[in-house]
Amino acid sequence: MLNIVLFGPPGAGKGTQSERLIEKYGLVHLSTGDIFRANIKGETELGNLAKSYMDKGLLVPDEVTINMLRAEVLKHSACKGFIFDGFPRTQAQAAALDQLLIELGTSISVMLALEVEEEELKDRLLKRAAFSGRADDADPKIIENRIAVYNQETAPVKSFYMSQNKFISIDGLGTIDEITLRLNQAIDSL
């Protein structure tokens, strides 16, 4: 299996690039943010719980997120591989993902980390709000929170994959096509 963690701060382009990578490599795209939003739309219990955190720009608790991700992975255990988008966001999630993939007889192939500086992220998120309809994109205070949570809780997950020699940094500035090309080159060099 080819299992990719597509990593980066909010607004780095993970969703956009995931769509391109799943097509080229035939992978299953698992975006925890998308799954939470689908649950919010469906007014499920999980959706209600997730919303209370997402509206503030905070992380949904690990246990809830890990259980949900686990169920999604098990639905597709026979696929060619996964793109994990927006997961793992904590060290505990990274450890749980490793364990889950061991159960399936596989592992993470690589973490591709899109690097974009903060001012550019804020700009992109506010612009995205116009068409994403996401409340957490429209409010500069929530954006600040999401970036702060990323810096404090999520960025350290890089070291988890660095210590396994699976970390590749990708310049996330440029056109969508340029960034796709960088990602493709990194994957094809594995």
Query: What is the token pair recorded at 169?
Result: 């940094």
Query: What is the token pair recorded at 121?
Result: 């992220």
Q: Residue 117: which region, alpha, beta or left (left: phi > 0; alpha: psi -120 to 50)?
A: beta
Query: Stretches 28-36, 97-105, 112-120, 178-186: which one binds ligand AMP (CB under 6 A)?
Result: 28-36
What's the length of the chain? 190
Judged by CB under 6 A, the chain residues 94 through 133 that form the site for ligand AMP are none
By the 8 A CB rule, do 84 and 30 touch? yes
Under rule CB under 6 A, residue 9 binds ligand AMP: no
Under rule CB under 6 A, residue 65 binds ligand AMP: yes
Q: Are strands 110-115 and 4-7 parallel, antiparallel or unpaired?
A: parallel
3-state DSSP assignment of residue 21 = helix
Candidate list 2, 94, 146, 167; residue touching ligand AMP; CB under 6 A: 146
Candidate list 8, 9, 13, 57; residue touching ligand AMP; CB under 6 A: 57
Under rule CB under 6 A, residue 8 binds ligand AMP: no
Residues forming the site for ligand AMP (CB under 6 A): 10, 32-33, 36, 53-54, 57-60, 65, 86-87, 89, 93, 136, 146
